[in-house]
């Protein structure tokens, strides 16, 4: 069976799962339903010959699930109410998404077809990567040798995001307990 | 190491939420039978498996230039192992078990180390983040110049930062339960 | 072509969630869906028919898929985890201040 059929099936399943996750009332079911999408992405990475990404995506899914459940489950005062503005925005959202989808179909015809990528720079990485960097994993050689500057930017972004979370939450802690927990 | 645990099993007080007054007089070096955290089964399984998970994370990091994985995946595995301890044993025990300030310092230091390796490449080999070490033999563990080094740095960075953000979130959750 | 369109539809489901939902947790989940779709779209470009993963195994060298989008997406996934944590922190802080997850109510309570 060609990989495209598998991917069509998995993507349809993921779209279904994401719609279910957005429309469910219960927030725990919603967070678990989003796991369908994440694990579907992980499985698609395996089909698309990217084992590094499958591992990292799988771990990402577990970690995001733990963070969301840890932060949001257990609050009984979480309720969802429907009002007129909500219905109006739902209609606007569906119409806008459908319009964008149908108007952008001609754009996708211009892209290279599935399975035939434009490999101009990457062909050099594949041909000379092992000799130039000494790494058998060519993805690692791209991340940490050819494009290590990108990774430095990633480290900086991660540092800033975590620092932002610290700044937001630590100030709350000092505010609440007047410096009791803060050290 | 698990001798005091035998008495804990037949102790009916472990299922109560109220803190026992006698728990302070007991062995304080391993406060694993405290009120916080999950049941004894979860704690025992966590105590056995956490070092295996950390070892697996280091394996993934150290073989990042040969097999799938690398610093990002291995770092998330180590963060999940520490998070396992945090979920099973509670926040108080984790604060005694781990030196949180040391983890914060490692997290900040690893970002600096990445830049230092880059600047060393600038001086030795002429361009920022150049692979200035010997390439070695293909398929050997010690090979590929600076790639394993940067993998280890990124692994520590990712592990520490992801664990610490959950650590801060867990602390907020508790103070919030008191307020609400 | 079909795969591209389905992946784009997944992205648009995320866009719909950000526009139409008023619950902050649902908005976080929608942003996550958009991130998944964007990552998967980049990897769909990298696939080559009959090629294997870009890791040398010591045997004969067969055609390999494009390693460059994989490297970019690998960093992108971890950044996404960091931004999810930041969003969760912001939402927890908002809940502490206003006592609700509804953005319409939060807007009304301001000032």
Q: Alpha-carbon dihedral of residues B82, A26, C39, B53, nearest 10 degrees?
A: 20
pLDDT value of residue C38: 92
Is B17 contained in some domain?
no
Neighbours of chain B (3+ CB pairs under 8 A): A, C
Is there a contact between C75 and B162 if contact means CB atoms under 8 Å apart? Answer: no
Q: The domain containing residue B172 runs over which residues?
A: 40-179
Mean pLDDT of B55-67: 87
Lowest mean pLDDT among A70-74, A159-163, B21-25: B21-25
pLDDT value of residue C111: 54
Which of B70, B138, B169 is the closest to C88 by Cβ? B169
Give ∠ CA B153-B51-B44 in degrees, rounded to 5. Answer: 145
Q: Alpha-carbon dihedral of residues B162, B168, B171, B177, nearest 10 degrees?
A: -100
Is there a contact between A49 and C53 if contact means CB atoms under 8 Å apart? Answer: yes
Is B14 contained in some domain?
no
CA separation, residue C50 to residues A2, A48, C41, C69 (Å): 10, 10, 19, 18
Query: Over 80: is that where the pLDDT of A139 sits?
Result: yes
Distance from CA of A35 to the nearest CA of B (A): 17
Q: pLDDT digits over B62-116, tens only? A: 888 888 888 888 888 998 998 888 888 877 788 888 888 888 888 888 888 888 8
Is there a contact between A156 and B111 if contact means CB atoms under 8 Å apart? Answer: yes
Is B84 contained in some domain?
yes
C70 touching A, CB under 8 A? yes
DSSP H or E run through A74:
none
Domain count, chain B: 1
ipTM field: 0.85
Is B29 contained in some domain?
no
Could you tell me which residue, C8 or A82, shows the higher pLDDT? C8
Neighbours of chain C (3+ CB pairs under 8 A): A, B
pLDDT value of residue B39: 81
Query: Which range has highest mean pLDDT (B85-94, B122-131, B143-152, B157-166)?
Result: B157-166
Query: Over 60: is that where the pLDDT of B141 sits?
Result: yes
Is B66 contained in some domain?
yes
Which of B128, B138, B171 is the closest to A130 by Cβ? B138
- Tally of residues, chain C: 111
Neighbours of chain A (3+ CB pairs under 8 A): B, C
Residue A146 pLDDT level (bands cut at 50, 70, 90):
confident
Mean pLDDT of A37-56: 88
Is B134 contained in some domain?
yes
pLDDT value of residue B8: 38
pLDDT value of residue B11: 44
A144 touching B, CB under 8 A? yes
Residue A51 pLDDT level (bands cut at 50, 70, 90):
confident
Is there a contact between A173 and B144 if contact means CB atoms under 8 Å apart? Answer: no
Mean pLDDT, chain A, as a whole number? Answer: 80
Is there a contact between C81 and B172 if contact means CB atoms under 8 Å apart? Answer: no
Question: Position of tokens 């964007």?
Answer: C38
Q: pLDDT digits over A93-136, tens only? A: 888 889 988 998 888 888 888 877 777 777 888 877 777 777 77
* CATH class of this structure's domain C2-109: mainly alpha
Lowest mean pLDDT among A77-91, A123-137, B155-169, C50-64: A77-91
Is there a contact between C96 and B168 if contact means CB atoms under 8 Å apart? Answer: no
Sign of torsion over alpha carbons B27, B32, B34, B39: negative
Query: Over 50: is that where the pLDDT of B4 sits?
Result: no
Is B9 contained in some domain?
no
Residue A174 pLDDT level (bands cut at 50, 70, 90):
low
Is there a contact between C85 and A161 if contact means CB atoms under 8 Å apart? Answer: yes
Query: Over 60: is that where the pLDDT of B28 sits?
Result: no
């Amino acid at each position: 069976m060609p990989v495209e059929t598998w991917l069509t099936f998995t993507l349809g399943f993921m779209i279904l799962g994401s719609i279910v996750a957005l429309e469910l009332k219960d927030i725990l079911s919603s967070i678990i339903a989003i796991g369908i999408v994440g694990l579907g992405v992980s499985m698609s990475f395996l089909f698309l010959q990217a084992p590094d990404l499958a591992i990292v995506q799988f771990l990402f899914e577990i970690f995001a699930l733990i963070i969301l459940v840890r932060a949001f489950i257990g609050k009984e005062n979480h309720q969802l109410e429907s009002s007129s503005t909500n219905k109006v925005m739902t209609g606007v959202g569906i119409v806008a998404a459908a319009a964008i989808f149908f108007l952008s179909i001609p754009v996708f015809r211009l892209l290279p077809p599935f399975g035939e990528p434009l490999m101009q720079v990457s062909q050099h990485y594949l041909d000379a990567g092992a000799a130039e960097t000494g790494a058998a994993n060519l993805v690692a050689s791209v991340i940490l040798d050819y494009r290590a500057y990108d990774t430095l930017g990633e480290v900086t972004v991660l540092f800033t995001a975590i620092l932002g979370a610290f700044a937001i939450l630590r100030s709350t802690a000092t505010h609440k307990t007047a410096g009791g927990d803060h050290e | 190491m698990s001798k005091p645990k035998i008495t804990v099993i037949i102790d009916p007080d472990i299922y109560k939420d109220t803190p026992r007054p006698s728990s302070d007089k007991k062995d304080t070096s391993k406060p694993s039978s405290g009120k916080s955290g999950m049941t004894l089964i979860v704690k025992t399984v966590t105590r056995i498996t956490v070092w295996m998970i950390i070892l697996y994370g280091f394996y993934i990091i150290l073989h990042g230039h040969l097999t799938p994985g690398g610093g990002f995946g291995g770092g998330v595995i180590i963060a999940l192992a520490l998070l396992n301890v945090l979920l099973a044993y509670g926040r108080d025990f984790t604060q005694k078990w781990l030196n949180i300030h040391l983890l914060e310092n490692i997290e900040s230091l690893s970002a600096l180390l990445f830049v230092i390796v880059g600047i060393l490449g600038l001086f030795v080999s002429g361009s920022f983040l150049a692979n200035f070490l010997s390439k070695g033999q293909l398929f050997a563990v010690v090979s590929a110049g600076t790639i394993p080094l940067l993998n280890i740095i990124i692994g520590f960075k990712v592990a520490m930062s992801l664990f610490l953000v959950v650590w801060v979130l867990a602390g907020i959750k508790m103070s919030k339960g008191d307020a609400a | 072509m079909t795969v591209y369109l389905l992946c784009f539809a997944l992205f648009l489901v995320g866009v719909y969630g950000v526009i139409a939902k008023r619950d902050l947790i649902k908005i976080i989940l929608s942003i996550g869906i958009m991130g998944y779709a964007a990552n998967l779209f980049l990897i769909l470009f990298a696939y080559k028919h009959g090629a294997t993963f870009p890791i040398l195994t010591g045997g004969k060298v067969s055609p390999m898929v494009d390693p460059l989008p994989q490297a970019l997406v690998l960093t992108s996934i971890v950044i996404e985890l960091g931004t999810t944590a930041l969003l969760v922190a912001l939402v927890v802080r908002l809940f502490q201040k206003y006592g609700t997850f509804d953005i319409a109510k939060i807007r009304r309570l301001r000032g």
